[in-house]
Structure 1
Amino acid sequence: MIHVLIVDDDNLVRKGLITAMPWDDFGMRIAGEAANGEKALEFLASHRVELLITDLAMPVMSGIELLRTVRERYPDLAVAVLTLHQDFEYIQEALRLGAIDYIAKVQLEKEHFGEVLGRIRARIVAGGSGRTKESDAAPQERFPGGDAYALLALREQAEPEAVLLPAEGEGCWRADIDSHVRLWLPASELTRQDLTGYGSGGPSVQAEALPPEWRMVRVRHAAGESVAELQLRLNRYRQQDFFYDCDGGKKLPIELDLEQLRAERTAPSEREIEETQDMLFAFRWLHDETSFAELRRRLHALRLPAEKLMQLFYGCTVEWNRIFRSVSDARAALPDKLACWEDCAVWLDAFREMSGAASGRAHLSGEVSGSIMAAVKIVHDELALPLFAIDVAKRVNLSRSYFNQVFKEAVGYSFNEYLRKTRVDKAREYLVQTKKPIQWIAEHTGYADEKYFSRTFREQTGMLPSEYRTRHRQG
């Protein structure tokens, strides 16, 4: 019987591991639990434990510090570490310190419990003692050939399908840290062959035959690389650059060099992100091909995580709907999915098509439509400032007379009518949603004179601002 100590500062994680995993099926028994490294050492001093499972990021004493101490005091104790995707460097250090396995918390969430425990038990039994050596530890096994092949899932919901199952004796797809990253390892009789391509120890499944949720990656010059670290690097690649390298096609594997996987990518600066966000929210790209090409180039070059990119697109849709709701019945919506860069490109194209249909008459050129949309944005962004048609026309590169003509054609109101309507609409919001005094509302909607504001408001609504506020509250 293998006695297990669970160490994690999150009580829910500890309880989940203890209650949900099939310990008895693999000859294991929970000996205890601890909330940090110091408590774990106190427990080890007085209890029998053959397997320690510890989180890496903990207060008081980190998992790495605990592992260093355990290696000195209890050299025969097997240790497996719990990890999140961003713990890449910590996992490497844990392996160097003798951890026999690493368990991704996403695996536990997907309940791959038997796979995890079976692998850990096999490594403990195969090693004889819990402590591993860099030369022969299972996680430190070396990749046997030249090129490595891996399957990466586009989405977290992707599940393995029958086409991923190799023929008997051919080899296996290993997924030690994450079921969405599967590294091909050939059968023992093939390990001496040079894995430089299909048919020489590589997987028999071709890239074009994969299910739509999976993509193949070929890593050149992988011979001798630690299998564990190769899997970790592929996992990190999937979380970062895979999104942008995968353009939606499946005909050929994505080609990488091992040095590309090893390289540290420099994160974009806040200034670069802000400049790109300003360009996105300016909406010039909706009607100007040069601006659109530059926006796409910048977004792709930033290589933001998909979640961050989704946040930018969400802000973009909110801003567009806020500004142009009075001009068009069309509404921008978030993409249903962002599995790869191709999805982003498709959504941006659809956004432009929607905007073009909503922003003016068919006879207006894209450049003119873009100028009118820019003028509408100026009204909303600078509502509290003095705005005049002649100045706005100049800012959007149109003559005053032509600007007045096409603005009404595109928006349905003259510029001055639209400005007045927008200011009064904003004043309505302030009156309903705030307790700000009338003078403050007048100033923040572009009226320096409260009396003039009240008169204009009554012309538009039939009520004075104070009456409007009172009636709404009574309603």
Structure 2
Amino acid sequence: MNVMIVDDELSAIEAVRNGIQWETLGIGKVYTATNVQDAIRQFQKRSIDILLSDIEMPMGSGLELLKWTNEHYPNVKCIFMTCHADFHFLQEAMQLGSVDYILKPLEFSKVELVLKKTMEKILTNRILKENSNSWIQNKETVIRQFWKDFFLGEISPNKESLMNYFRQKRLDIRLESYYLPILVVTKKWTEPVNKVDQKLLQYALRNIANEILVIPEIEREVLPFSEMSVLIMLRLDTELEEHRLNNIIEDCCRQLIAAASKYIKEIICCYVGIKDSIYEMPSSIEALQERDFNNVIHESEVFFLYQEQQFDTVIYSDNPIGEWREWLKQGRYEEILSDIRDRLTHTKKSIINRDFLNHFTRDFYYLIFEFANDRSIFVNELLGDPQSNLLLKNSLESLEGLLDWVSHTLNIMRNFDKTNANRSNPVERTKNYIQLHLSEEISMEHIANNVYLNADYLTRIFKKEVGVSISRYIINKKMEVAKELLIHTDKSIGDVAMLVGYYNYSSFNRIFTKEIGTSPQEFKNSNIKKSSTD
């Protein structure tokens, strides 16, 4: 037998190559590759029986390589190497299928035991293959490919197209058979999981489903359906009584839910479709997907479509926005959150779907706008940060996400009021800022940032309340102070110009003359003469 080692680190490859007693195990050739593409090229040129691969590599993951080998070389056995020590529970789950899982740093004695066990599996399969034709061995792969092509729309759901496909692939699928689809969807993880590990966990879910969902006398296929779901197709050629069949399916699904929670820390839901002909399967799968789309209460459960009724009409008037608004004015944030939690907890689950979340979010946004308007701020100043935007997105996908967003938003409102309890209105803050910074070149940007308002909006409300624009108000104030300094101090005109924010004498002279009707020097001289006369 031949082995291929795939790892992006050359030192890791050499360690495995030199640490294993290959000849003692009966391994003939040991090939190596440093990335997925290199490994694929090697497969196409060499005979390989065992793939010993790292999972995480920069130019394609070990899972991607496994998917490729399953499609092109289904008899190759794979052993994964990974440093994810926190996922020790995966080893048992992965062993339910044809893939083994070894943690780094590798203990070569354990690696040799796994290799020996894998070689025994290969030898057993070869004996079986010698006693049967190649079609039996490849049947599972061919059937899986059929369902994939069928659901992707590459095969039309009509008798002629299906018959042609079955004839070409030598499939013994009968058009008169009835099927029952089961969609298994991961709703969330109970522990933080990154993208790479999510793929690994979904592979483990398929293995667990393949092990648990076994019903006597019923053929079934366990198929990867999406990044977050697995599809199980049952072929119902037996006369098993429907009620008993549903009980068996529910029992299997609940075992699967428990195993997923225990081994791979997933909250999953199982959606059981309706028995129908092969022609109706695409629309049946769509119905299961729609049911999952509207399942926004992320709790493990088994749903039978034949028992499902249409969602109740959402009662939009149930949200007491007026009452919450009054509580908001009184600062009763915790009472608002408690009331919302209580109402949503006691709302019928059949009402809470995507439409419900959308409407509730729009209603709650009314409170946010009222809060912002009362405080002369923009909503984006409160909730424009990345975390708030992410929570808003999640609020439209699950009830848990909605409550997290509401809690986060109310907390921001409370903190805003606490921070700004003694803060004057924005017009008064603008006047105070100008007074304190007369000796500087005051810009609208600095003023707006100081009062936490958009510059255009601040300009509008300032002129409405004061009667003049902010720029005119600044000039008037500067001229008032300049006149006071020219009359009551001995400061030079240059010093006076700098004290009111003009660092260019000619600019000060020009503006003063235009506003007062006389030059600074003439104004100073006339007031000196007036003072001496008095």
What range is the shorter-chain TM-score in? 0.3 to 0.5
Q: TM-score, normalised by structure 2?
A: 0.37
Q: Which has the larger radius of gyration?
A: 2
| Structure having the larger proportion of residues in helix | 2
